[in-house]
Structure 1
Amino acid sequence: MTDLVALVTGASRGIGRACAEELGRQGYKVAIHYRGNEDLARQVAESIPGSKIFQADVAEEEQCKALIKSVKEEFGRIDVLVNNAGMSIDQVLTFAKPADFERLLDVNVKSVFNLSKLVSKVMIKQKKGSIINLTSVVGHTGNGGQSMYAATKGAITSFTKSIASDLAGFGIRANCVAPGFIETDMTNALPEEVKEAILKKVPLKRLGTGNEVAKTVHFLASDASSYVTGSTIHVNGGMFTN
């Protein structure tokens, strides 16, 4: 395991941080990507032996190229790519702004396209690799006020199914993990009545944790899932099971 390298985007906090730390516990060398908060990224790196931090705005193609090049130069290889970086801009359709939709497409979709394309070239030479894309339950169910965000997550799911077919012959697998409502700084700040409304939608009657998502990501990164590609694993407490 000490020779395996995982790049996790958006790894300075939340689900991304949980994924980076779980992969680190499992023996991976972790490339910790962040966009703006270097202090938080360094805190994550301190908890993962052998890890390094890398700054990039993954909405920009040239910065994606520089990120993959830097990680490859530092570690010599990339075995796992976890495309976690993303954002949400919520608004009902009538008042949604085209500029906001463009921004979501750049951050949520184009980054996944660019990084997956670039890392596939590295993995093809290695004849093995795992690409794991974080989507969302709302990419499958939709959600009022989140049409733009849901569209980007749905696009990632279709993209992942397609590249799984493209890359399978090279020993590269591609899958999605689709979280539901997960405990984060954002959900912790919600009013109690909002939390109660959320929990009514969840059969397990609780929010998930970042660590529960991270363990699913590790499964897809590892050889335990060696015959799994083009799939989506839902981590949502039973909200959506198809």
Structure 2
Amino acid sequence: MPLAKHPNPSSSVTSHFSLKGKVAAVTGGARGIGLSASRAIAEADASVATLYSSTNDADAIASQIAADTGANVKAYKASVETKEEIASVLRQISEDFGGLHIVVANAAASIGVANHHAAEDYTEEQWRKVMAVNLDGAFYTAQAAGNIFKNQGHGNLIFTASVSAILVNVPQKQAAYNASKAGVVQLARCLSVEWVEFARVNCVSPGFIETDMLDVHPEAHRKKWFDIIPAKRMCEPDELKGAYVFLAS
């Protein structure tokens, strides 16, 4: 039962966050937020499969996390845009590790597409590309994870969405990106109810995080953001580690 009671609630608080004996897969797990989530989950004693699509040194990254944490960490290549490919890789991970308990659907946070066009100027191709990675890929990952969880009788799914799901970023124009992220948040809500008998489903919606995804923005955009960010700084990816471990625990 995914909402089962802790076996010993009065035990040390660290036991409530331990992932010892668990197996996790993190899409987009070799860079940005996904890399921080992969490392955090490994630090909590889980075995971790880091999924990537184009990171050339993904195997070396996985090996370094393993060396630093003592966890079993391996890299797997998969495109979340292709339904059967992500499903096949998650099945393979489950076979290789002897189960799959946690899936972080994070690829859109690491390779997500945020074309900056006025809404009236989007081409069909531009719109579909954003949705293919950010929303379709999140669903394909969730669907593949859900089938594994259903067969096991339990599992834990965590989406990475964005604050863009609930507000309109300025000054950039990114209606497609915002809409795709809003779709991820609502998808998470739907699955948390639909799959309540065999999976727990949650969603993290970060604000501005200092990753290479922001490199495409001109300096003028950054100045505008700092005008409206209360803390006047970006968040480092590692500052999100606790959130992922909490939701995975």
TM-score in terms of structure 1 length: 0.85
User: What is the one-letter code of the residue matched to 1:104?
Assistant: V
In structure 1, C-alpha distance between the alignment counterparts of 2:185 and 2:79, rounded to whole Å: 22
Q: Distance in 1 between matches of 2:55 and 2:117?
A: 26
Matched, 1:107 2:129: no
Measure the CA separation in 2 of the matches of 1:135 and 1:14.
14
Aligned-partner residue type, residue 163 of structure 1: L
Aligned partner of 1:29 in structure 2 is 47
Aligned partners of 1:46, 1:141: CA distance in 2, in Å? 37
Per the TM alignment, residue 28 of structure 1 is displaced from its structure 2 partner at its CA by: 0.9
Q: How many residues align?
A: 221
CA positional deviation for 1:188: 6.4
Which SS does the other structure have where 1:169 is aligned? coil
The separation in 2 between residues aligned to 1:108 and 1:151, in whole angstroms, is 10
Q: CA deviation at 1:189?
A: 7.8
AA at the equivalent of 2:39:
E
CA distance in 2, matches of 1:161, 1:84: 16
How far off is 1:193 after superposition? 4.6
Would you say 1:68 and 2:96 are equivalent positions? no
Amino acid at match of 1:166: E
Kindly indicate whether the alpha-carbon contact (under 8 Å) linking 2:48 and 2:72 is maintained by their aligned counterparts in 1: yes
Give the distance between the partners of 1:166 and 1:203, measured in 2 at CA. Answer: 37
Counterpart check, 1:207 vs 2:227 = no
1:30: Cα distance to partner?
A: 0.5
1:18 aligned to which of 36, 41, 46: 36
Report how far residue 71 of structure 1 moved: 0.6
Letter in 2 for 1:138: S
Higher relative contact order (CA 8 A, sep 6+): 2
User: Unaligned regions of 5+ residues in structure 1, if any?
Assistant: 223-242
The answer to whether the Cα contact below 8 Å between 2:156 and 2:248 also exists between their aligned partners in 1 is yes
Aligned ranges 1:38-57 → 2 under 5 Å = 38-48=56-66, 49-57=71-79
The equivalent of 2:166 in structure 1 is: 140
2: CA distance, partners of 1:27 / 1:59: 30
How well do the aligned residues superpose, as a CA RMSD in angstroms? 1.8
Given that residues 208 and 235 in structure 2 are in contact (C-alpha distance below 8 angstroms), is that contact kept between their aligned partners in structure 1? yes
Contact 1:59 1:110 in 2 (8 A): yes
Partner Cα distance (1:135, 1:118) in 2: 18
Q: CA deviation at 1:154?
A: 0.4
Aligned to 2:11: none
Q: 1:13 to 1:41 in 2, by over 3 A?
A: farther
> Which structure 2 residue ranges, 5 or more long, are not aligned?
1-18
Q: CA deviation at 1:77?
A: 1.0
Q: Distance in 1 between matches of 2:211 and 2:40?
A: 17
